[in-house]
Amino acid sequence: MMQSIVWTGRLLSRALWNGLSNYSNCADPNINRRHESRIVSAVCGFPKELAHARLKKGQFGDDAWFTAKYKSADVIGVADGVGGWRHYGIDPGEFSAFLMRTCERLVSSGKFITTEPAGLLARSYYELLESKQPILGSSTACVIVLNRETHTVYTANIGDSGFVIVRHGEVVHRSEEQQHYFNTPFQLSLPPPGHSNLVLSDRPESADMSNFQVEDGDVILLATDGVFDNVPDQLLITELIKVQGERDPTKIQGVANTIALMARSLAFDGNFMSPFAQNARENGIDAIGGKPDDITVLLATVAI
Amino acid sequence: MVDDEEVTSFDVSNSSENDIVFIEQFVQDVIGFSSQYGSDVSISYTAYNITGKPSKFPDYGDFPQAFVMRTYGKWWNKAPSGTPPFMSQSLGKITSQDFIDLLFEEAVYPFRVSVYETYNPGSVVRIWAADVQNHWRLLWEGEPQLVGHTPRVFSPVIQTIDSPTKLLRLEFDQSHLEYYTELDAVLFVGTKVPIVSPETQQVPSYDLIVPKVGKLTSQILQLNIHNIPPQLDIPNSIVNFLDEELPQLLKETEEAAQVMVASNKMIPSTGTESFDCLPDETVLKIFGYLSLLSLCSCAQVSRRFHDLATDSLLYTELNLKVYWYCATSAALRSLSKRCQYLQKLDLSWCGDFVHITSGDFVDFIEECGSQLTHLRLNSCKFADNRCAMKVSDKCKNLQELGLRCCHNVTESGFQSLASLKNLQYLDLYRTFIDLGPLKAILKSSPQLKHINMGSCVRISSMDDIAQTLATYNKELVSVDFWKTYSLTPVGVRALHKCGKLEELDLGWCLGIGAPGDSLYSLATGCRSLRKLFLSALRGITDRDLEPFIEHCPALEQVDLLGGRSITSDICVKFLTRCTKLQLLDVSFCDQVQDSEVAYWRMVFPHVSVKRSFQHYIKS
């Protein structure tokens, strides 16, 4: 059984790579040559339910992502729609996708401040209110801005998505997880009218912010909890070392694919002591195995 | 998102001697517009969305990524706050309600303007270009169209002008449209060198250009930059001749014939006697039906005509908005001699490029402003504090004042308006008025009937304003709070004291949240309500709307857009029990089914039931 899922995953992943490589910003070498992008990125991911997954640009199940640039800033971001809304007849992916799409629009039109990624998230969140179509739900989100002139990344994180920055095999900087309690991350929400009291909702201003000086060759992994809950740090780092200083988008794409596939396999491995299961044990819950979830991997290297 | 440069050039010449390089550009920036659906603090439904490459085309429908204007159809004119135009005989056959000014990166000789329309197309009526001397030149003019629900690239054949341009203005007429129109992008195609041959000053015939455009289009298609339906973009010279040039030619011959007839009549031997024998009063009466331009022409005919056509009695109303493209300080000065009895003045859209300065306006008001009762300065860049102070000082009888989009009026200018005691109509849409000056104006205007504060982002507490209105402005008939976020149920409740209120726009007042009993108070207090806009008030439920059905039998227009909890039950109640209802907008009300809307349209044909939609073509 396990085997077959992994195999399906592999087969599908091949199909997805081909599709996805078109989506990723730097898969087309022509684009790179023309713009001398300073952040070389690739994307890979899997929806939890492969059977009835939507294949939309920028979405894996309820996860969503974007990459965009404006002048001397490269911006990448992921968001994870909170699945519980499905019980209310609300598509959780719509919220996260709208959030990321709007971030992309805001960045592309220069309506953001490089040093304030939290402001970008906040603006994108408030834009949800400006849509005629009422979009309800909630989502975690993590956005990274690289300022190419100052070689600084500015980050904002709400909830349990996150990033690690790896330099020569060492984690030099990482996001802090924001949880209310176990398995309940901070989240941006728009509850249905009248339900505001029953729904956890954190203000976009409550995002965890940081800035960090990057160096040439640094590897940035931005991913949703589907990755961090299933792949132990050591495994991640082993993979990330491989693209240290790498500028070839194809190689970066390869590692992004490996990490996504690894997360996917471990998520469905019932006997694996995943980081999620360990966490659960620390919280007094007897658990083992991976945590099946949507998976989004955004991998980037800094080229200065 | 791949950020291509906005400018793409194509060398479409083959080895022939005349090399023509076509440059294609999308909009770089929006530098002015008369209205937008969205708010200035947002990027949804705003004018800025027209910049760059098309983001939705060929998707068709109501999307936040497009440029949407504030109104459609005749609903706003029919409402109690509707304002009829002044000097209506000056309105041409083609009128417009809105405009947008588009800046492009590189100045080129215009060859083609393509407008990407993604919802309810057909509103573009004029395309202008600003030449190197900053004068507006008409590139195209045509009647608004009704083309049904289809995305399209509107690409009319335009006049060639002898000047490069990087600034275009589009004028829109949406009065015939079913619902809001949405525009995605504008593609501007032009050449670095004039296509007009310098020797003959003639445009090469279309036969010569067509093959080249064909190539250009095919290159565009190959590069997959965008899809222009070929039948729309390649001008078929015969069809074009029949559609555009022949009527124009006929019109011109007719006009020429008329001029000849008229000029024949002016020769004494062939009978000017007919006009000469008419008394001055009769001629004046006839002149009263003429447009401003015709009057100016008449004034050049003879001394008698001059004296009559410049008679101050003909100039009690003056509408320069229709002539915005040629209204200059010189024109204003020469008119000022005739405007001793001027009561109604519309200078909206006039005087960009400093063709009229605030000094010119102040001089004009000094000379002709004392009788003024109505003044519209919408989208006037020259309107500043000095102008506002002069108006406050000189026009003591002023009843109507329109300052839409006047961004150069600030605190001291608005403060001075508080000395006007007779204001009945005040339009402050998208101005930077603050709480203090607005309160002062409201307190000093006991006769105020209409006020528009839509998208006024600087007002810190709309509740305070609503309470002031309720206390000091008992005559209030209409109030527009569109997209003001500081209004809460407290302010809404206060409005119930305005017993004469007929029109209330609370659209996108997101601060209202859950309205509590404020809408109930409103309905019981304001029983003459005719128009009620509650767009995007997500928190309202059927229970909040019941009182309006109960107490407001005069309701004609109701907008419930985006009300997530609103059910079809309450809509049916509106349809059956509000017998005067003409408009019901249930767009994006998720509980209401499309099939129900279709049924209502059949059973209640006298009501226009609006239902927006989004139709994706892109995968």
Q: Phi/psi zone of residue B444: left (φ > 0), alpha (ψ -120 to 50 degrees), beta?
A: alpha
Check if B62 contacts A (Cβ < 8 Å).
Answer: yes
User: pLDDT grade, residue A22 (50/70/90)?
Assistant: very low
- The Cα A25–Cα A29 span in angstroms is 10
A124 contacts in B (CB within 8 Å)? none
Q: Which helix (H) or strand (E) holds A66?
A: strand A63-70
Helix, strand, or coil (residue A23): helix
Looking at residue B228, its pLDDT comes to 41
Q: Which of 479-538 (B) contact A at CB < 8 A?
A: 508, 510, 514, 535-536, 538
For the record, the structure tokens of B611 come out as 């239902």
Q: Angle of helix B385-394 relative to helix B358-368, nearest 10 degrees?
A: 0
Looking at residue A199, its pLDDT comes to 62
Please report, as a single letter, which amino acid is at residue B272: T
- The Cα B589–Cα B271 span in angstroms is 68
Q: How far is CA A129 from CA A102, B387, B560, in A?
A: 12, 37, 16
Between chains, do A68 and B564 touch, taking CB under 8 Å as contact?
no
| Owner of token pair 């990274």 | A144
Between chains, do A131 and B64 touch, taking CB under 8 Å as contact?
yes
Looking at residue B29, its pLDDT comes to 94
Residue bearing the bigger pLDDT, A75 or B274 = A75
User: pLDDT grade, residue A279 (50/70/90)?
Assistant: confident
User: pLDDT grade, residue A200 (50/70/90)?
Assistant: low
Looking at residue B501, its pLDDT comes to 96
Is pLDDT above 90 for A283? no
- The Cα A268–Cα A261 span in angstroms is 11
A76 CA to centre of own chain:
9
Interface test with B, best of A130, A190, A199 (most B CBs within 10 A): A130
Minimal Cα–Cα distance from A133 to chain B, Å? 6
B379-389 pLDDT per residue, tens = 999 999 999 99
Residue A155 sits at φ, ψ, to 5 deg, of: -125, 155
Looking at residue A71, its pLDDT comes to 85
A168-195 pLDDT per residue, tens = 989 999 988 887 777 778 788 777 665 6
Superfamily of domain B8-201, CATH level 4: Galactose-binding domain-like (2.60.120.260)
For residue B154, the cross-strand partners are B115
Instruction: Map out the domains of chain A as residue ranges.
Output: 39-303
Q: Which of 6-35 (A) contact B at CB < 8 A?
A: 25, 28, 31, 35
Residue A242 has a CB neighbour count (10 Å cut-off) of: 13
Contact B32/B100 with Cβ under 8 angstroms?
Answer: yes
Between chains, do B538 and A134 touch, taking CB under 8 Å as contact?
yes
Superfamily of domain B316-460, CATH level 4: Ribonuclease Inhibitor (3.80.10.10)
Provide the CATH topology of domain B483-619.
3.80.10
Please report, as a single letter, which amino acid is at residue B178: E
For the record, the structure tokens of B416 come out as 């001075």
Check if B565 contacts A (Cβ < 8 Å).
Answer: yes
Supply angle C-alpha B336, B337, B342, rounded to 5: 60
- The Cα A224–Cα A60 span in angstroms is 11
- The Cα B156–Cα B235 span in angstroms is 9
What residue spans of A109-154 are helical by DSSP H?
117-129
Contact B180/B89 with Cβ under 8 angstroms?
Answer: no
Check if B455 contacts A (Cβ < 8 Å).
Answer: no
Minimal Cα–Cα distance from B120 to chain A, Å? 17
Looking at residue B324, its pLDDT comes to 95
Closest residue in A to B50 (Cα) is: A109
Average pLDDT for A140-150: 91
Closest residue in B to A136 (Cα) is: B564
**Selection from B53, B578, B294 nearest residue B286 by Cα:** B294
Is pLDDT above 60 for B208? no
For residue B10, the cross-strand partners are B22
Our separate counts of H helices and E strands in chain A read 8, 14
Between chains, do A134 and B48 touch, taking CB under 8 Å as contact?
no
Minimal Cα–Cα distance from A234 to chain B, Å? 33
- The Cα A78–Cα B406 span in angstroms is 41
Looking at residue A54, its pLDDT comes to 66
Looking at residue B200, its pLDDT comes to 52
User: pLDDT grade, residue B238 (50/70/90)?
Assistant: low
B113 CA to centre of own chain:
20
Q: Phi/psi zone of residue A271: left (φ > 0), alpha (ψ -120 to 50 degrees), beta?
A: alpha
Is pLDDT above 90 for A247? no
Closest Cβ opposite residue B42 in set A104, A127, A193:
A127
**Selection from A11, A85, A74, A16 nearest residue A45 by Cα:** A16
Q: Which of A132-146, B15-29, B440-454 is modeled with the greatest confidence?
A: B440-454
Average pLDDT for B141-169: 92
- CA-only gyration radius of chain A, Å: 18
Is pLDDT above 50 for B1? no
Write out B405-471 in H/E/C secondary structure: CCCCCCHHHHHHHHHCCCCCEEECCCCCCCHHHHHHHHHCCCCCCEEECCCCCCCCCHHHHHHHHHH
Between chains, do B64 and A130 touch, taking CB under 8 Å as contact?
yes
Is pLDDT above 90 for B458? yes
- The Cα B254–Cα B251 span in angstroms is 5
Looking at residue B211, its pLDDT comes to 43
Q: How far apart are the first and last CA of chain B?
A: 16
Half-sphere exposure of B607 (CA within 13 A, CB side): 31
Closest Cβ opposite residue A134 in set B55, B62, B562:
B562
Between chains, do A111 and B51 touch, taking CB under 8 Å as contact?
no
Looking at residue B459, its pLDDT comes to 94
Average pLDDT for B308-334: 94
DSSP tag of B37: S
Tell me what the pLDDT averaged over chain B comes to.
87
Q: Environment class of residue B415 by beta-carbon count within 10 Å: exposed (0-12), middle (13-18) or buried (19+)?
A: buried
Is pLDDT above 60 for B134? yes
Check if A133 contacts B (Cβ < 8 Å).
Answer: yes
Between chains, do A129 and B587 touch, taking CB under 8 Å as contact?
no
Closest Cβ opposite residue B588 in set A102, A106, A133:
A133
- Which region among A11-25, B244-258, B485-499 has the lowest average model confidence (pLDDT)? A11-25
Between chains, do A193 and B561 touch, taking CB under 8 Å as contact?
no
Is pLDDT above 70 for A198? no
**Selection from B47, B39, B32 nearest residue B429 by Cα:** B39
Looking at residue B83, its pLDDT comes to 93
DSSP tag of B614: E
ipTM: 0.81
- Which region among A165-179, A220-234, A253-267, B210-224 has the lowest average model confidence (pLDDT)? B210-224
For the record, the structure tokens of B307 come out as 């004296």
Q: Which of A141-155, B227-241, B423-437 is modeled with the greatest confidence?
A: B423-437
Half-sphere exposure of A49 (CA within 13 A, CB side): 8
Supply angle C-alpha B443, B447, B453, rounded to 5: 65
A136 contacts in B (CB within 8 Å)? 564
Q: How far apart are the first and last CA of chain A?
A: 46
Closest Cβ opposite residue B44 in set A108, A127, A134:
A127
Between chains, do B514 and A194 touch, taking CB under 8 Å as contact?
yes
Is pLDDT above 50 for A233? yes
Interface test with B, best of A112, A132, A136 (most B CBs within 10 A): A132
Looking at residue A277, its pLDDT comes to 86
User: pLDDT grade, residue B201 (50/70/90)?
Assistant: low
For the record, the structure tokens of B275 come out as 């006009």
Residue B574 sits at φ, ψ, to 5 deg, of: -60, -45
Is pLDDT above 60 for B13? no
Average pLDDT for B172-192: 94
Average pLDDT for B223-235: 41
For the record, the structure tokens of A224 come out as 């949703």
Between chains, do B514 and A68 touch, taking CB under 8 Å as contact?
no
Q: Environment class of residue A86 by beta-carbon count within 10 Å: exposed (0-12), middle (13-18) or buried (19+)?
A: middle
- The Cα B310–Cα B318 span in angstroms is 13
B52 contacts in A (CB within 8 Å)? 108-109
Between chains, do A194 and B612 touch, taking CB under 8 Å as contact?
no
- The Cα B486–Cα B468 span in angstroms is 15
Write out A80-109 in H/E/C secondary structure: EECHHHHHHCCCHHHHHHHHHHHHHHHHHC
A27 contacts in B (CB within 8 Å)? none
| Owner of token pair 């000047």 | B163
Looking at residue B264, its pLDDT comes to 57
Is pLDDT above 80 for B199? no
User: pLDDT grade, residue B343 (50/70/90)?
Assistant: very high
B79-100 pLDDT per residue, tens = 999 999 999 999 989 999 999 9
For the record, the structure tokens of B567 come out as 């059910």
Residue B557 has a CB neighbour count (10 Å cut-off) of: 22
Between chains, do A193 and B514 touch, taking CB under 8 Å as contact?
yes
- Which region among A27-31, B515-519, B528-532 has the lowest average model confidence (pLDDT)? A27-31
Please report, as a single letter, which amino acid is at residue A66: F
Contact B400/B375 with Cβ under 8 angstroms?
Answer: yes
Contact B601/B575 with Cβ under 8 angstroms?
Answer: no
Instruction: Map out the domains of chain B as residue ranges.
Output: 8-201, 213-296, 316-460, 483-619
Contact A221/A299 with Cβ under 8 angstroms?
Answer: yes
Looking at residue B429, its pLDDT comes to 97
Q: Give the global pTM.
A: 0.84
Average pLDDT for B275-291: 89
Check if A88 contacts B (Cβ < 8 Å).
Answer: no
CATH class of A39-303: alpha beta
- Which region among A24-28, A106-110, B280-284, B288-292 has the lowest average model confidence (pLDDT)? A24-28
**Selection from A112, A71, A103 nearest residue A222 by Cα:** A103
Is pLDDT above 90 for B109? yes
Q: Which residues contact A52 (CB under 8 A, 6 or more apart)?
A: none
Residue B270 has a CB neighbour count (10 Å cut-off) of: 10
User: pLDDT grade, residue B615 (50/70/90)?
Assistant: confident
Average pLDDT for A19-33: 38
Q: How far is CA B147 from CA B56, B165, B219, B322, in A?
A: 19, 30, 28, 26
**Selection from A144, A51, A147, A40 nearest residue A100 by Cα:** A144
B535 contacts in A (CB within 8 Å)? 132
**Selection from B515, B596, A279, B510 nearest residue B495 by Cα:** B515
Minimal Cα–Cα distance from A240 to chain B, Å? 25
Contact B156/B170 with Cβ under 8 angstroms?
Answer: no
Contact B151/B226 with Cβ under 8 angstroms?
Answer: no
What residue spans of B473-539 are helical by DSSP H?
489-494, 518-525
Between chains, do B42 and A68 touch, taking CB under 8 Å as contact?
no
Looking at residue A241, its pLDDT comes to 93
Interchain CB contacts (distance < 8 Å): A and B: 72
Establish whether domains B316-460 and B483-619 are of one fold.
yes
Q: pLDDT above 90 covers what percent of chain A?
A: 40
- The Cα B67–Cα B432 span in angstroms is 22
For the record, the structure tokens of B301 come out as 């005919």
Minimal Cα–Cα distance from B432 to chain A, Å? 21
Strands (E), A183-291: 184-185, 188-190, 208-213, 219-223
Between chains, do A194 and B45 touch, taking CB under 8 Å as contact?
no
Contact B426/B453 with Cβ under 8 angstroms?
Answer: no
Average pLDDT for B110-136: 94
Looking at residue B197, its pLDDT comes to 54
Please report, as a single letter, which amino acid is at residue B142: G
Closest Cβ opposite residue A193 in set B3, B65, B565:
B565
Closest Cβ opposite residue A132 in set B42, B541, B562:
B562
What residue spans of B88-192 are helical by DSSP H?
none
Check if A134 contacts B (Cβ < 8 Å).
Answer: yes
- Which region among B62-66, B215-219, B383-387, B432-436 has the lowest average model confidence (pLDDT)? B215-219
Q: pLDDT above 70 covers what percent of chain B?
A: 86
Is pLDDT above 50 for B108? yes
Minimal Cα–Cα distance from B55 to chain A, Å? 10
A130 contacts in B (CB within 8 Å)? 38-39, 42-45, 64, 508
